[in-house]
């Protein structure tokens, strides 16, 4: 059984590559987490977890991460991705949303904020704060955009 993480950060990056996989890898490197083994998790922020602007995680570590990504080979296309964390005003869990598409950064930030608000309403949780991390990318050859909430111990 994995322990419950104690810390989290939000990060995003973009990149270009010859293939979809190398473009995704370039986006991870740009986000500062390209040398980690990401374990994709769903969208619940653990109770009592602390936000950090940056986490120092050893290369090769298994890092639970809620994330979204998008990759495109359509030159000139604008792609974007965002993650948002909803933090409750009471001592309980929060909610994370991930979203990607062919949007501007401004549009995707607006959409993801609304998704967090809806998720809190569905759970009948009082929302105190929303943290958003988003990025857009204009594809040159094969581009990728990534945004994630990385957990650590």
* Residues belonging to the active site: 37, 42-43, 98
What distances in angstroms separate CA 45 from CA 11, 54, 57, 125, 128, one per listed residue? 15, 17, 19, 13, 14
Closest CA to 66 of 93, 88, 90, 91: 93
Question: Using CA atoms, how far apart are residues 68 and 120, in angstroms rounded to an integer?
Answer: 20
Question: Using CA atoms, how far apart are residues 85 and 103, in angstroms rounded to an integer?
Answer: 20
């Amino acid at each position: 059984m994995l322990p419950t993480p104690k810390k989290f950060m939000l990060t995003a990056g973009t990149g270009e590559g010859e293939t979809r996989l190398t473009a995704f890898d370039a986006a991870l490197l740009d986000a500062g987490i390209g040398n980690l083994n990401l374990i994709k998790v769903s969208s619940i922020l653990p109770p009592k977890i602390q936000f950090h602007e940056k986490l120092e995680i050893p290369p090769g570590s298994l890092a639970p991460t809620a994330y979204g990504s998008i990759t495109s080979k359509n030159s000139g296309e604008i792609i974007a991705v965002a993650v948002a964390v909803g933090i409750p005003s009471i001592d309980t869990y929060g909610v994370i949303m991930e979203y990607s598409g062919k949007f501007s950064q401004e549009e995707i930030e607006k959409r993801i904020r609304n998704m967090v608000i809806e998720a809190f309403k569905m759970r009948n949780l009082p929302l105190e704060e929303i943290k958003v991390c988003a990025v857009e990318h204009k594809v040159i050859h094969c581009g990728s955009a990534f945004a994630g909430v990385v957990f650590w111990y």
